[in-house]
Structure 1
């Protein structure tokens, strides 16, 4: 995969093989990232058919990310960059899972100091993950939206309005609401095809969670999530 053998990379893959890539139970949907869910303090899924409970030792994923990073002096290229980004993404995503549990525990026990500290760390984590993903074009929202817009160039007579429709009503809709209210809420298809991408984290998921915490902390009404999305 990298053009040469590397002990650190091999150990990284072995740790992933025995953790995040080794689900031993039957699941209806995929394992999902709490950071991308519609906010609440006890998120258990992102889409209607997924789940967020971590079934492996998250320390193994963190160790795998570090091992892959240690291979940096000897490995390079697109495959290595992709895997390094992906392993680090999963490690940070797992941290978000446990951090949200800590926020819930602090809120339940009325520990205002711990709650505020963990809340702020959670929001910053989303921004940090966004910054990480924006270092690799394979994990960027813009790659997806540009592909959608470029489809218009394949047909004669298309306009800028056609490109905007393909981006907003097709590409962006697929990774958020999956269509109108009847699809999103009625059929439960919202976030069915969510993506942990640079741009999505900062401009979509972060704003969700920020609105949630702001309203919760101020005692104000939560937004209508479909309208918000």
Structure 2
């Protein structure tokens, strides 16, 4: 099983295939199968996927995923409840039921901001004519081709928001569980990330209609959302930038190595260093992460540069200054890579209350 590229953080999986594929391979005619393995580029995301796949080495028949998830909940949180079981049943049939066979690489707008002229980005109705409903990404790509790499959407966003409602409602019973906290933050992040993708397209739509007031207000809403998501991610140790940088520095034998190792760590998660002043690396955002610190200190400021130039182009009645955008965001990236700023290494904030607050602020009307 490959499953993940570069440790990107995205709720994604095909549990039915995991629960049946190894058994089908083992029992197929002339099978030479001797075991199962995993070869993901990054881990520390989607624990349910790796938990189930690890178990398949010891299974002799296909697994009933629904029944397995009910046991998984009790193991993971120390207890279960009707609300959390209903939530996981939704997740099983949505985010963990990706059957469109599309290449999975997280290209959410926040963490993989489009490096293209806005005129090349389709409007919301063109890009997501069935937004909120499960849609084949391949079908979308056949309908519309442009330079904007569309984020992968294979499930009903409204259904996943319902799962989030149930997760939040389970907080009174499960908030003492660290793993519940991780899953709650991750699910809230997932829901807000898809909301941000849609919000970005509304900004582009307003730009095409030359509505400077709407571009300005929606852009600010997007930037506020990035800040709010950073606060959310700070609620759990599993979503912090600080430990990544500190672990790199701890490998150093001297100050010069420490600077180099930190630069390496910062570069790996932003843009690999083969850019020019006006041409970004082809491997920009390959190792993108939803980590507290990274959103507030890098992804947010980068988006702000784009929106600033977008607003200027509408106000001045001129084309989007693509080369200016590229010069500014590439410089911002290179400066961030060389920075020595420190970030928190311990979580802070109440995941349940912050998730509830952000659900009410951004998602309540979407469900």
TM-score in terms of structure 2 length: 0.55
Q: Secondary structure at the match of 1:21?
A: coil
Alpha-carbon distance in 2 for matches of 1:228, 1:218: 19
1:30-55 per-position Cα deviation (integer Å, ceiling 9, x unaligned)? 243111123454399xxx9x740422
Listed as ranges, the matches of 1:24-43 within 5 Å are 24-39=99-114, 41=118, 42=121
Of 164, 168, 179, the match for 1:69? 168
CA shift for structure 1 position 218: 2.1
CA shift for structure 1 position 137: 1.6
Unaligned 5+ segments in structure 2 are: 1-75, 128-146, 314-320, 334-367
- Is residue 2:292 matched to residue 1:198? yes
Distance of aligned partners of 1:135 and 1:17 in 2 relative to their CA distance in 1, 3 Å threshold: same
CA shift for structure 1 position 174: 0.8
1:121-164 per-position Cα deviation (integer Å, ceiling 9, x unaligned)? 11111111111101112101001111111223xxxxx1132222
Alpha-carbon distance in 2 for matches of 1:51, 1:101: 11
Q: Secondary structure at the match of 1:22?
A: coil
CA shift for structure 1 position 63: 1.6
1:45-101 per-position Cα deviation (integer Å, ceiling 9, x unaligned)? xxx9x7404221111222222211111111122111100100000011011011111
Of 213, 234, 238, the match for 1:138? 238
- Kept in 1, the 8 Å contact 2:226–2:300? The answer is yes
- Is residue 2:325 matched to residue 1:222? yes
- Kept in 1, the 8 Å contact 2:185–2:236? The answer is yes
- Is residue 2:158 matched to residue 1:59? yes
Distance of aligned partners of 1:186 and 1:204 in 2 relative to their CA distance in 1, 3 Å threshold: closer
Distance of aligned partners of 1:85 and 1:188 in 2 relative to their CA distance in 1, 3 Å threshold: same
Query: Cα RMSD between the aligned structures?
Result: 2.3
- Is residue 2:233 matched to residue 1:123? no
Unaligned 5+ segments in structure 1 are: 153-157
The residue aligned with 1:91 is 191
- Kept in 1, the 8 Å contact 2:240–2:293? The answer is yes
How many residues were matched structurally? 217
- Is residue 2:247 matched to residue 1:147? yes
- Is residue 2:209 matched to residue 1:109? yes
- Kept in 1, the 8 Å contact 2:212–2:311? The answer is no
Alpha-carbon distance in 2 for matches of 1:102, 1:60: 22
Alpha-carbon distance in 1 for matches of 2:93, 2:270: 31
- Kept in 2, the 8 Å contact 1:145–1:171? The answer is yes
> Which of the two has greater helix per residue?
1
Larger radius of gyration: 2
Alpha-carbon distance in 2 for matches of 1:165, 1:187: 20
